[in-house]
């Protein structure tokens, strides 16, 4: 069973509160199935693991309520999150790193936030990378939009130009793995 670190749930809930208010958060939570609702309304500890299914359902409800179902909005929201996280000294490390370094670093950081999901970055001599994600199920597709935003913004901060990030094997396919292709100039 795939799980996500409580810190991510807390950040997402706090972002919705700050962006849209308590009333909208309540509307989103009301749309959840009972299991997902109990996770989101329960006491969440940053260091504990929680159901990725519940988190995905929460993101789906958020996008339905606040973005008319437009999942692409999640890419932009993720970019804002990583930009905020990469302040100060952390931004220096990203700016000094090559795109390959940044991609490897994000993949290793994601490993600390996901349990039951494995990330395998592959590089060649060109300006592209393929990352295989093993462990996602089709219902986790919405998480892919957040992943795209994280990589895209981090690479832009590092100085990469013409960054393109997309799933060539989508999470929604529910196969053995999903594959993310990243290119840059």
- Could you give the strand order of the β-sheet that contains 118-123, starting from the edge strand earlier in sequence? 118-123, 128-134, 178-183, 164-169
| Within-domain flag for 73 | no
64: exposed, middle or buried (C-beta count within 10 Å: 0-12, 13-18, 19+)? middle
pLDDT digits (tens, 9 = 90+) for 175-185: 999 999 999 98
What pLDDT was estimated at residue 159? Answer: 86
Place of tokens 């302040």: 87
Place of tokens 């039951």: 116
What pLDDT was estimated at residue 135? Answer: 96
Looking at the fold, whether 111 and 30 belong to one and the same domain comes out as: no
Looking at the fold, whether 163 and 103 belong to one and the same domain comes out as: yes
Domain boundary among 38, 67, 96: 67
Q: For the chain, which ranges sit under pLDDT 50?
A: none
CA angle, corner 173, sides to 167 and 174, nearest 5? Answer: 115
Q: Does residue 166 contact residue 180 with C-beta atoms inside 8 Å?
A: yes
What pLDDT was estimated at residue 90? Answer: 58
| Within-domain flag for 72 | no
Residue 170 structural domain: 88-183
Place of tokens 């670190």: 5
Looking at the fold, whether 136 and 169 belong to one and the same domain comes out as: yes
| Within-domain flag for 78 | no
Q: Does residue 183 contact residue 103 with C-beta atoms inside 8 Å?
A: no
**For the chain, how many structural domains are there in total?**
2
What pLDDT was estimated at residue 89? Answer: 55
C-alpha span between 159 and 65 (Å, rounded): 35
| Within-domain flag for 144 | yes
Looking at the fold, whether 54 and 96 belong to one and the same domain comes out as: no
| Within-domain flag for 82 | no
Which CATH number goes with the domain that contains 171?
3.30.1380.20
Looking at the fold, whether 9 and 54 belong to one and the same domain comes out as: yes
């Amino acid at each position: 069973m795939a799980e996500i670190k409580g810190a991510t749930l807390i950040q997402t809930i706090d972002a919705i509160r700050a962006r849209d208010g308590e009333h909208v958060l309540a509307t989103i939570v009301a749309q959840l199935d009972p299991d997902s609702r109990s996770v989101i309304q329960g006491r969440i500890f940053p260091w504990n693991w929680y159901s990725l299914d519940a988190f995905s359902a929460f993101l789906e409800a958020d996008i339905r309520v606040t973005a008319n179902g437009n999942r692409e909005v999640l890419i932009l929201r993720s970019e804002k999150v990583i930009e905020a996280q990469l302040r100060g000294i952390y931004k220096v490390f990203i700016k000094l790193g090559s795109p390959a370094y940044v991609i490897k670093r994000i993949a290793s950081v994601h490993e600390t936030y996901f349990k039951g999901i494995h990330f395998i970055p592959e590089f060649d001599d060109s300006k592209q990378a393929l990352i295989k994600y093993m462990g996602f199920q089709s219902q986790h597709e919405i998480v892919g939009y957040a992943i795209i935003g994280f990589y895209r913004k981090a690479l832009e901060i590092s100085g990469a130009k013409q960054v393109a990030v997309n799933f060539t094997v989508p999470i929604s396919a529910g196969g053995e793995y999903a594959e993310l292709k990243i290119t840059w100039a």
